[in-house]
A and B are shown apart, each in its own frame.
Chain A
Amino acid sequence: MRLPCPFCGDRDASEFVYRGDAAPVRPATSEGFYDYVYLRENPAGPMREHWYHAQGCRNWLVVTRDTRTHEVFGAVLARGAAQ
């Protein structure tokens, strides 16, 4: 599996650290924290997810990937990415 890092280009997935679903947003108050920390959609299909390019540019990315096939549709820098 290779991920298209916007900064470094196509790089092997082993250079990246996986963080998981990009959808949960840290709530400002303790309300909703249980949802944020524990509950997941866990979709079978396309999913936006956080990857950290630890052995590259050290950017956080939002990668769109199909969990059924591992097909990667694209990646953008997480900073400034639409939620």
Chain B
Amino acid sequence: MTRFSVFSLAKNALSGHRLWERTWRDAAPRDAYDVVIVGGGGHGLATAYYLAKEHGVRSVAVVEKGWIGGGNAGRNTTIIRSNYELEGNAAFYEWSMKLWEGLEQDLNYNAMVSQRGVLNLCHSDAQRDAYARRGNAMRMNGVDAELLDKEGVRRLAPFLDFDQARFPIQGGMYQPRGGTARHDAVVWGYARGASDRGVDIIQNCEVTGFLRGADGRITGVETTRGVIAAGRVGVAVAGNSSRVAAMVGLRLPIESHVLQAFVSEALKPVLPGVITFGAGHFYVSQSDKGGLVFGGDIDGYNSYASRGNLPVVEDVCEGGMAIMPMIGRARLLRSWGGICDMTMDGSPIIDRAPVDGLYLNAGWCYGGFKATPASGWCFAHLIATDQPHETATRYRLDRFATGHLIDEKGQGAQPNLH
């Protein structure tokens, strides 16, 4: 595999960029692997990469029903952050942020990780108190957080509507290390790193069932491209986790919901980083191409349709208009929907399934993108060692039965409110 460097760039420039190698191998399935990962999104590919790199497991296949990165890895709003409050989440998302910080050197691939800052606006005294509490929790966990007053916010983003009649901006919480990363490049970078270490990435290969031994243990997968035997099977198909789990008769504490996202036409640079509205649900950043990438709430009803309805479009745009009226001048280029595993407490699951040989990586709600590196790291650790990684010990499947919920938003068992 060609190592990307200024020298390889110069060399390929001289040959008119016609001799670059393929970034990763488009493999055909073999009969058997030590580990099969179901789902070729960011999480599945990161898992395969870390299995090969950190645990020396080289006989790995990633099977993907469509093309890699064609699901939620290609539908998110590219935000990375680790501003979590609760024990169980804080260490995990901070580990993810640390992996983001070293990702490009590790992968030798430009994932366009940009720590341009995440600014959460507050609009009331109660909300400022909540941010102070969250920020203090973050700092006690070694995460960066700054509580800003109105002037502090004005210095970062002078264009906001500070004196909006209904939701005046009183301040905000700022995580300077947060930012954005290029979603496609993350997928391709992990695919390249995994493929280079012998992982087979098999596209257009949908899992249709599981092979079970006489003792019930999972021994492989049935796919649209034939049967593949496997020592262990990891499932990383967030959005469709319930459907795959149903193939082994499991019901999960998950509902599938649609989350819409939007991008405007390309504009000259106007937004310094990620900005979120505190009185509604609206978050926005500007891509390097210039489009304003934004989103808000999930639609709120069960859906596998990958498209949403207009009331949420209106709600999201109202949120945008409330804090930055200038957004009303931008024309919308595209909108789309992705299917999210909404869990009963708003936190993910990285655990052994109650079926031998099967491992679950699920329930990412609508926050899976930022978790990609740590999710892969911890899932690889779990599959390779049969023990949870130290930052993911709380993401157990049985926490719903034992009452050890990680409910960051405090909403209870109501998936569409997380």
Return B55 CB to nearest CB of chain A, in Å: 32
Within 8 A of B (CB), among A23-52: 34-35, 37-42, 44, 47, 49
- The yes or no answer to B309 lying at the interface (CB within 8 A) is yes
Interface readout for A1-21 with B: 1 if CB under 8 Å, 0 if not?
100000000001110001011
- From B97-105, B126-134, B164-172, B299-307, give the one contacting chain A: B299-307
Given contacts A12-B311, A13-B311, A20-B255, contact A38 B344 (CB under 8 A): yes
Is the Cβ of B256 less than 8 Å from the Cβ of A67? Answer: yes
Please determine whether B305 and A70 come into contact, CB atoms closer than 8 angstroms.
Answer: yes
Residues of B within 8 A of A44 (CB): 240, 243, 256, 304
Knowing A34-B400, A42-B242, A42-B252 are in contact, say whether A67-B302 is a contact too (CB < 8 A): yes
A18 and B253 in contact, given A12-B311, A34-B400, A44-B243 (Cβ under 8 angstroms): no
> Interface majority SS on B: helix, strand, loop or mixed?
mixed
Q: Give Cα distance in the complex from A49 to B344, angstroms.
A: 17
Among B301, B413, B414, point to the contact of A49 (Cβ < 8 A): B301
Helix, strand, loop or mixed for chain A's interface? mixed
A interface residues, how many (CB within 8 angstroms)? 23
Considering only residues 230-246 of chain B, those with a C-beta below 8 Å from chain A are 240, 242-243, 246
Q: Name the one of A13, A41, A49, A69 contacting B251, with C-beta atoms under 8 angstroms.
A: A41
CB distance from A56 to the nearest CB of B (A): 15
Most chain B Cβ neighbours within 10 Å, of A13, A18, A20, A38:
A38
**Nearest CB in chain B: distance from A4 CB, A:** 15
Q: Which residues of B contact A (CB under 8 A)?
A: 240, 242-243, 246, 251-256, 300-305, 309, 311, 344, 400-401, 413-416
